[in-house]
Amino acid sequence: MHVFLANNREELARRCRIKVGCRPGRSATERQLQDGIPLFLEQLIHTLEIEQSNRPQDSRRISGPAGGGAALSDIGAASALHGKALLGLGLSVDQVVHDYGDLCQAITDLAMERDAPFRVDEFRTLNRCLDNAISDAVTEFSYQRDILLADASADESNKRMGFFAYELRDHLGTAALAFTAAKAGSLSLSGATGAILERSLLNLERLISSSLDDVRVARAATQILRAFSLSHFIDEIAAAAALSAGMHGCTLCAPRVDNELALTGNRALLIAAVANLLQNAFRFTQPGSEVRLTAYAAGNLILIDVADHCGGLAKGVAETMFQPFCRHASDRTGLGLGLGLTIARQSVLANGGDLGVRDVPGTGCIFTISLPRNKMPT
pLDDT at 83: 60
Mean pLDDT of the 16-38 span: 59
Asked whether the beta carbons of 352 and 299 are under 8 A apart, the reply is no
pLDDT grade for 84, boundaries at 50, 70 and 90:
low
**Letter string b/e over residues 27-40, b meaning 16 or more CB atoms within 10 A of that residue's CB:** ebeeebbeebbbbb
pLDDT digits (tens, 9 = 90+) for 215-273: 655 554 444 456 789 999 999 899 888 888 888 899 999 999 988 898 888 888 888 88
Selecting from 3.90.260.10, 1.10.10.10, 1.20.1250.20, 3.30.565.10, what CATH number does the domain 227-375 have?
3.30.565.10
pLDDT at 367: 94
pLDDT at 115: 82
Lowest mean pLDDT among 87-91, 140-144, 369-373: 87-91
pLDDT digits (tens, 9 = 90+) for 294-334: 999 888 889 999 999 998 888 777 766 776 545 443 344 43
Q: Which sequence spans correspond to the domains of the chain?
A: 2-150, 151-221, 227-375
Q: Is the pTM of this model over 0.75?
A: no
pLDDT at 8: 85
pLDDT grade for 370, boundaries at 50, 70 and 90:
very high
Question: Among residues 122, 128, 106, which one has the least CA distance to residue 3?
Answer: 122
Q: Which residue type sits at 10?
A: E
For 44, 97, 114, the CA distances from 109, given in Å and listed in that order, are 17, 19, 9
Asked whether the beta carbons of 245 and 283 are under 8 A apart, the reply is no
**Letter string b/e over residues 194-211, b meaning 16 or more CB atoms within 10 A of that residue's CB:** eebbeebbebbeebeeee
Query: Burial, 179: exposed, middle or buried (Cβ in 10 Å; 0-12, 13-18, 19+)?
Result: middle
